[in-house]
Structure 1
Amino acid sequence: MTTSPKTDPTTSPQAAHLRAQKRRRTRLHNFAAYTVLTTIALVMLYPFYWTLITSLEPTGNIYEAKLLPSGLSLKNYAAVLSGTTVPFLRMVLNSVVICTVGVIASVTFAALAAYPLAKMRFPGRDLIFYAILALVVLPNEAGLIVNYITTIKLGLLEQRGPVWDTITQYAAIVLPSVASIIGLFLIRQAYMGVPIELIEAARIDGAKELTIWRRIMLPLSMPTIAAFAILEFVALWNSFLWARILPLDPQMLPLSAGLLELSGTFATNSRATMAGAVLVIIPILIVFASLQRYFMKGIEGAVKG
């Protein structure tokens, strides 16, 4: 008695048809997703593109949607960079100093505060953490009055001499950003992912807590710390409201806050204001473009932790 060979169901015409239908559905879904994402990206990028082409136009109506500039000229950028209207280069220096000091201080304090909240055991640890985290729901503007009173009480806005005034005015701008709840949360989550066995082994070997934090916690959490440093840099670079509230010397204004002075100076030349806005955005784009992979890796590590 002979038996007919078995037919492989995966090679049957019906299975091939089902696979073809599945591939078509997948391509259709991918096309729809890319179309939606491309549309969203274009809508979000157009304001920056409009600012860029407006800053390059010598003349014409700026209050209209456009795809191409009516002309090309760098005179608006020359007017901003010349320093004849506003101390643009001094404002750049102010922003660099404020961002450098602010990022170092906020990262240091967040990294130190996150360690006991993540790896030390003491009564009320979780209650303290969640009480701090609950403050995230408050808008930043809610603390402006308290921060202003604190700045006055510390004497950071008193006139004591050129060098001292420069230092204290920098401190007045940076001080409210030193305590970052978001940074504390991100770094604590990264610390939670560090095996407790490593810490216990270091304690058995006689390592102090500060040594454990410096030798173990920081190296293993560096991607998340780098991601938070990038976020803090962007926040400080774009800081506007607090610097405008403080009675600062115009020479001490950071770049983003100094743009308001630029707008007032160029009341009839809005293209110069657009040129200043583009110059403010460029450093942020460079930072994100060069450190994007570290940023994504750090955020991913914090979420997993």
Structure 2
Amino acid sequence: MKSTGAAIAVNGALTLLALFALAPLAWMLSVSFMAPGEAAAFPPPLLPQQPSLANYVQLFARDRMGGYLLNSLLLATAVTLASLLFNLAAGYAFAKLRFCGRDALFQALLGALVIPGQVAMMPLFLLMKTLGLVNTYAGVVLPALASIFGVFLVRQYARSIPDELLEAARIDGAGEARIFFVIVLPLLRPIIATLAILTFLASWNDFMWPLIVLSDQDYQTLPVALASLSREHVMDNELMMAGAVVTVLPVLALFLALQRHYLQGLMLGGVKG
């Protein structure tokens, strides 16, 4: 009886916390359907009096949000695919291949995790400028080809692959490339899904680096475009909320669709090895 009461209390508290966390998102969605100026009333209304899609029509017709949406989608997809290839290969190498300085190099990478990313933006920008990649999509994709966290996550999971399985494949004459693509990658499926979600979300939500590298307005991504929109329509809360919904909904839908694989990969990557 006591355990049942404790479970009810815990579930009730978790439900309240979930509602508290979801309330801003629900109100953002509601405001996006309101008429201009309706959200500025006091007290602010919870639901629109006459729901309308006018804010979304204005976003895609006049403010070119569709082009920015496509830019973000292309960049996030390219970054995710390229980053997966490099992170998976590097993580597997650190976990299962023996080479000179492997452990020292990995420890140096882990030490670099404590360095804020903003510190590297200036030298990275100068490097992109020297390479002629400023104001190009390659300037956004290239620095994101590999991440220390991604390498670490894959390494921790790949250490659980039995060495005997890899040695048997080598004895049968399989090369390292074939072992990686035919044997290792299928075993890394949970961590691949997790890393894909994390990388896509990070790239989709990235604001600072695209703002620095992409000076042409036609190349802007959704977060940068939304910030520009806020300067142009500083008092138009309804239009701003519609832009926020357009920015949030795709990644929210992706996360909800793949959350089982995401959580499974995180737990397995954290406890194995």
Q: TM-score range by the shorter chain?
A: over 0.9
3-state SS of paired residue (1:236): helix
Aligned counterparts, 1:123-272, within 5 A: 123-157=100-134, 169-272=136-239
1:169/1:248 contact within 8 Å kept: no
Q: Which residue of 2 aligns with 1:81?
A: 60
Residue identity opposite 2:213 in structure 1: L
Q: What is the match of residue 42 of structure 1?
A: 19
Provide the rounded CA distance (Å) in 2 between the counterparts of 1:63 and 1:200. 70
Relative to 1, partners in 2 of residues 1:68 and 1:112: Cα closer, same or farther, differing over 3 Å? same
Cα separation, 2, equivalents of 1:220 and 1:67: 51
Q: Which amino acid aligns with 1:117?
A: F
Contact 1:119 1:192 survives alignment (8 Å): yes
Indicate whether 1:32 and 2:9 are aligned.
Answer: yes
Residue 107 of structure 1 contacts residue 225 of structure 1 at CA under 8 Å; is this kept in 2? yes
Q: Which moved more, 1:65-74 or 1:271-280?
A: 65-74
Q: Does 1:297 align with 2:264?
A: yes
Residues 87 and 251, structure 1, Cα contact 8 Å, conserved in 2:
no
Q: Bigger relative contact order, structure 1 or 2, given CA contacts below 8 A and separation 6+? A: 2
Residues of 2 paired with 1:204 and 1:232: CA distance?
Answer: 36
Aligned to 1:282: 249
Kindly name which structure, 1 or 2, has the bigger radius of gyration based on alpha carbons.
1
TM-score (norm 2): 0.93
CA-CA distance at 1:250 after TM superposition: 0.3
Q: 1:224 to 1:247 in 2, by over 3 A?
A: closer
Alignment match, 1:118: 95
Tell whether the 8 Å contact from 1:55 to 1:274 is kept in structure 2 after alignment.
yes
Q: Do the aligned partners of 2:39 and 2:238 also contact (CA within 8 Å) in 1?
A: no
Q: Secondary structure at the match of 2:124?
A: helix
Q: CA deviation at 1:226?
A: 1.3
**Which TM-score applies when normalising by structure 1?**
0.83
